[in-house]
């Protein structure tokens, strides 16, 4: 005989045990970002740059921090403002503003989380969840 279990409490995050971002792995995540951009710019996201990826990662992180609707970031905050002439500046400013929200994050932790989550999302969407291959050397034609 099975007994009913309240699974909701099982899946909730324990606020007393926050994930600690290992900042020593920052170089690893940046290499993954570069590898992902190298892969994506050749196919699914033609013309993607490292700066585009950093902008998107920081925009998604800030949107996730400041507003969620049914557990997902508010699309109005997560979508790129196409007419913005300096989208990277605006996204980084929003990321820095969002670090002050409870629980507070430092800028290095916030940026690393953003990059780590972006590379994982892109891997899931465009690389069947596999690790990113290291970039190949670009040759001038």
> Position of tokens 């990059």?
115
> Would you state the pLDDT for residue 138?
64
Provide the 3-class DSSP secondary structure of residue 68. Answer: strand
In a domain, 112, yes or no: yes
How many domains in the chain? 1
Angle made by CA atoms 65, 14, 62, in degrees to the nearest 5: 10
Q: Where are the alpha helices (DSSP H) in the chain?
A: 8-11, 26-40, 50-66, 75-78, 87-98, 107-126
Whole-number Å distance between alpha carbons of 29 and 108: 12
pTM greater than the 0.95 cutoff: no
Full pLDDT tens readout for the chain, 141 residues: 445 545 444 444 444 445 678 999 899 899 999 999 999 999 899 999 999 999 999 999 998 888 877 667 777 777 777 788 899 999 999 999 999 988 899 999 999 999 999 999 999 999 999 988 876 666 666
> Which range marks the domain in which residue 62 is found?
31-126
135: in domain: no
């Amino acid at each position: 005989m099975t007994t009913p279990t309240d699974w909701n409490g099982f899946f909730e995050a324990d606020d007393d045990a926050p994930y600690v971002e290992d900042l020593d792995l920052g170089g690893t995540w940046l290499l993954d970002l570069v590898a992902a951009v190298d892969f994506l710019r050749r196919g699914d996201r033609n013309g993607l740059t490292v700066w585009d990826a950093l902008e998107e990662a920081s925009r998604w992180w800030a949107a996730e921090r400041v507003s969620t609707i049914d557990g997902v970031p508010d699309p109005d905050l997560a979508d790129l403002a196409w007419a913005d002439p300096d989208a990277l500046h605006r996204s980084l400013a929003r990321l820095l503003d969002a670090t002050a929200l409870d629980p507070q994050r430092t800028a290095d932790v916030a940026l690393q989380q953003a990059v780590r989550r972006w590379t994982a999302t892109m891997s899931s969407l465009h690389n069947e969840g596999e690790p990113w291959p290291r970039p190949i050397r670009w040759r001038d034609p």
